[in-house]
Amino acid sequence: MSETSLAVSVVNEVKKAVVGKDDVIFKALLVILARGHLLLEDIPGVGKTTLALAFSKALGLSCNRVQFTPDVMPSDLTGFSLYNKDTGRMEYQPGALLCNLFLADELNRATSRTQSALLEAMEEGRVTVDGATHPIPEPFLVIATQNPAGASGTQLLPDSQLDRFSMRLSMGYPSPEDELELLRRKAGGNPLDSIVQAASHEDLARLRSEVDRVHVSDIILNYIIRLVRATRESPRLAQGASPRAAIAVAALSRAAAWTHGRDFVVPDDVKLVWTDAVAHRLILPTGAVGSTERAVRIAEGVLATVPAPRLPR
C-alpha cells in the first residue's frame, strides 16, 4: 500500500465514528503528520473526545485519557517515585503521559500547576521526576480538549501552553443530515468499536519521514515570516505570533503539500493551515471581549493583506 493510500485508510477509519467533520479530520491528520499537538476547543458533546479516540485506534496508538479537574495533580501525569521495601530503593511509577497519544479532556479545568506538567512532555518528549528523566514512547502526541473560555469551572490556558499546540480546531454542531446519520450509527452500537487499525507505528514513522522531505523554498519561508511579522506589528494585538508559530506553519504546510501529492510547498498550503495554526497564539489587549473570534478575524485579515508570492515555473 502506498503512503498516500495508507493515510486515506486512516482517515476512512476515523470517519466511521466522526460524521460530517471531514475538514477537522483532515487537519487533525496534518497535525499528526507534522509531529505536532492538537487543541480542540468547543462546547461539550460535539465529538472532540471521539475524534481523539478514533485516531488512536486507527493508528494503533496506546492511549491514556485524563479527565481534568482541579484535584488532578502533576504527579498523575508525570508519575512519581515509590519506595520499594524489598529492594530498599525508590522506583519510578509511570504517569498517564507515558503513552503514544495522551488525551487531555477539558484541560482548562485543571490548575495552572498541573497544566504546566505537560510542557516538558509536549516540547521534549520526556518527563522529569525527582531529578531523573524518563523518555516518553515514540510516537507521542497530545490531543487536548477545552470548553470555551468563561464556561463554568474553566480558566484560560497559559500562553506558553497554547503556543505548544500546532493547531486549534473546533468541531461545531453537526448538520441535521449528519446528526441523523450519527443517531443511526449509535443505534447499532458504539461506532468506535467498528474502527480497525489501519497503520502501525512503523507506518506512521514512514509517513512522517515522507513529510519531512517535502521541500520548502526560501520564497515560501519568507512568505511565512512576512505573515508572522504582520501579526507582531498589528496595533490590534498585544502580542503577535512567536517563532514557534512560524515553525509550526512551515511543518503543517509540508504535511498539507504531501497530502496533495506534492514534494514542495506552495502558498495555498500555507493559506490552508495559517489561521488554525496561529489564531490561538495571538494575544489581544487586556479587557478585550470575544477573544477567540477576534483573534481568528485578525489572523484571517493578515492572510488577506499580506500578498502571496508567485513561484517560478
pLDDT digits (tens, 9 = 90+) for 24-35: 999 999 999 999
| Closest-CA residue to 295 (of 102, 101, 159) | 159
Give me the pLDDT at residue 10, please: 95
222: Cα separation from own chain's centroid:
25
Lowest pLDDT segment from 173-187, 254-268, 286-300:
286-300
Chain segment 189-212, per-residue pLDDT in tens: 899 999 999 999 999 999 999 999
Q: How confident is the model at residue 152 (pLDDT cuts 50, 70, 90)?
A: low
Question: What are the structural domains, with CATH classification, of the chain?
Answer: 1-211 (3.40.50.300), 213-308 (1.10.8.80)
- The residues, ordered by sequence, that sit 6+ positions from 66 with a Cβ below 8 Å of its Cβ are 72, 76, 77, 96, 102, 103, 104, 105
Distance CA 248, CA 252 (A): 6
The SS3 call for residue 45 is coil
Q: Please state the three-class secondary structure of 246-275 as a single string.
A: HHHHHHHHHHHHHHCCCCECCHHHHHHHHH
From 4-8, 174-178, 289-293, the region with the lowest mean pLDDT: 289-293
pLDDT at 290: 55
| pLDDT at residue 115, as a whole number | 82
Spell out the SS3 assignment of 107-136: HHHCCHHHHHHHHHHHHHCEEEECCEEEEC
Higher pLDDT, 146 or 313: 146
The residues that bridge with 38 in the sheet, in sequence order, are: 143, 167
What pLDDT band is residue 52 in, cutting at 50, 70 and 90? very high
Residue 177 in this model has a pLDDT that exceeds 90: yes
Local confidence band at 288 (pLDDT 50, 70, 90 cut-offs): low
Pairwise pLDDT comparison (215 vs 285), residue with the higher score: 215
The pLDDT of residue 183 = 93
Report the percent of the chain where pLDDT is more than 90.
Answer: 70
Summarize pLDDT for 77-136 with one digit per residue, the tens: 999 988 888 888 888 899 999 999 999 998 888 888 888 888 889 988 999 898 889 999
pLDDT at residue 185 tops 70? yes
What is the DSSP pairing of strand 132-135 with strand 126-129? antiparallel
pLDDT at residue number 297? 94
Could you tell me whether strands 167-169 and 63-67 are parallel, antiparallel, or unpaired per DSSP bridges?
unpaired
Q: What is the pLDDT of residue 247?
A: 97
Is residue 151 scored above 70 in pLDDT?
A: no
Looking at the chain, the whole-number percentage of residues with pLDDT higher than 70 is 96
Q: Which amino acid is it at 52?
A: A
What mean pLDDT is reported for the chain? 91
SS3 content of the chain, % helix, strand, coil (to 5): 50, 15, 35
C-alpha angle 153-156-278 in degrees, rounded to nearest 5: 140
Quick check: 186 pLDDT over 80? yes
